[in-house]
Amino acid sequence: MELLRIESLTKVMKKRKILDNISLHVNSGEIVGFLGPNGAGKTTTIKMIMGLFTITSGKITVCGHDVVTDFESAMQNVGGIVENPDLYKRMTGKQNLEYFASMYSKDKIRNIDDVAGLVKMSARINDKVKTYSLGMRQRVGLAQALLHTPRLLVLDEPTNGLDPIGIKELRDLLKYLAKNAEAGVFISSHLLSEMELMCDRIYIIDEGVVIGEKTIEQVKDSAEEQIFSYSFVTSGSERVLEYLKGLDANCEQRNGGVTVVMKRSEIPEIIRTIIGMGIDIYAVNQAQRTLEQDFISMTTGTKTQIR
């Protein structure tokens, strides 16, 4: 079942086009990533889904309800975190959840202690919010979003402030909700690595334009052909550099080693050849991919320069 549909959505603010004719959808039981750098239009899109920004043109529907003409029905099906959770710091986490729960019909509200347990906040739920870390506030914000058993979760950078264990727990929770509660999740991030572990599909947005849609399987299948920067630490840097230049590779000596830009699939043969030349390899380090590099590699295949 389709839970969210965005059609030809455009947003203009102060004569500047923030979103330009974007379209996407989210189905029941799937987690869909919304990937883009800061300022790409992710939060603006999410605020429009939640009815916090007006629509310049286009249409957004949640469970078939138009967010403009049937706002109340649409929002009954949505739970969300937009930017940082907006909590009352002088109240406890539980008091915050009780306050937000009072806004919904009692027959839809989950047990607050159960929701606190879901987000791993049971031990601190009776402490005041002002004593919480950012990660704890994120957890209570997620609990708030889950209170009324929404069909669709809309989350804006929810891993902000979470440590690696917290990120994994969030990932497992969202997968559980999608699979067992048949919820749909629309989640924004600027981290491709996190989206790869969590999502079924991703939309890539840059400068207000959706420039690509891929399933995670497609992302993984294309990884071997993506371009990376590799650093070789060897016993013969000059000979390695000469060999790589003979392959017409983009390479240079740096910090006592050799750095080369190559497809991932080409590296094993290069390593075998270098070892066959009698040169010891002490380490091969793959540079951390930047989001910009992923955009280039995933959408155009253009080679990334050494940085």
Bigger pLDDT: 219 or 73? 73
**Cβ–Cβ < 8 Å for 251, 258:** yes
201 close to 214: Cβ distance less than 8 angstroms: yes
The single-letter code of the amino acid at 274 is I
Spatial contact of 192 and 26, defined as CB atoms under 8 Å apart: no
Give the right CATH number for 224-299 from 3.40.640.10, 3.30.70.980, 3.40.190.10, 3.30.70.1560: 3.30.70.980
Beta bridge partners of 286: 230
The model's pLDDT over 243-267, given as tens digits with 9 standing for 90+, comes to 999 998 888 998 888 999 888 888 9
Helix (H, G, I), strand (E, B) or coil at 208: coil
pLDDT digits (tens, 9 = 90+) for 89-104: 999 999 999 999 998 8
Say whether 224-299 and 2-221 share the same fold: no
Which residue intervals of the chain are DSSP H helices?
Answer: 42-49, 71-75, 93-101, 112-118, 134-146, 164-180, 192-198, 216-221, 237-246, 267-276, 291-299
- Which DSSP helix (H) or strand (E) runs through 5? strand 2-13
**Per residue in 15-72, pLDDT tens?**
999 999 999 999 999 999 999 888 899 999 999 999 999 999 999 999 999 999 999 9
Tens digit of pLDDT for each residue in 13-28? 999 999 999 999 999 9
Given a cut of 70, is residue 306 above it in pLDDT? Answer: no
Give the pair of three-digit tokens for residue 100: 């937000």
Q: Which residue has the higher pLDDT, 251 or 161?
A: 251
- Answer yes or no: are the C-beta atoms of 184 and 152 closer than 8 Å: yes
Give the confidence band of 242 by pLDDT, cuts at 50, 70, 90: very high
pLDDT over 60 at 234, yes or no: yes
2-221, what's its fold?
Answer: Rossmann fold (3.40.50)
* Contact status, residue 206 vs residue 222, Cβ threshold 8 Å: no
Residue 304 pLDDT level (bands cut at 50, 70, 90): very low
Among 140-144, 211-215, 231-235, 297-301, name the one with the lowest average pLDDT: 297-301
Q: For residue 18, what are its two tokens?
A: 């923030």
- Cα–Cα distance, 119 to 134 (Å, whole number): 14
Q: C-alpha angle 234/236/241, rounded to 5°?
A: 95
Give the position of tokens 């080409």: 266
> Encoding tokens for residue 122?
């049971």
Instruction: Give the pLDDT score at 222.
Output: 63
| Residues 6 or more apart whose Cβ sits within 8 Å of residue 229 | 259, 260, 261, 286, 287, 304, 306, 307
Segments making up each domain of the chain, as ranges: 2-221, 224-299
Q: Categorize the per-residue pLDDT at 288 as very low, low, confident or very high, splitting at 50, 70 and 90.
A: low
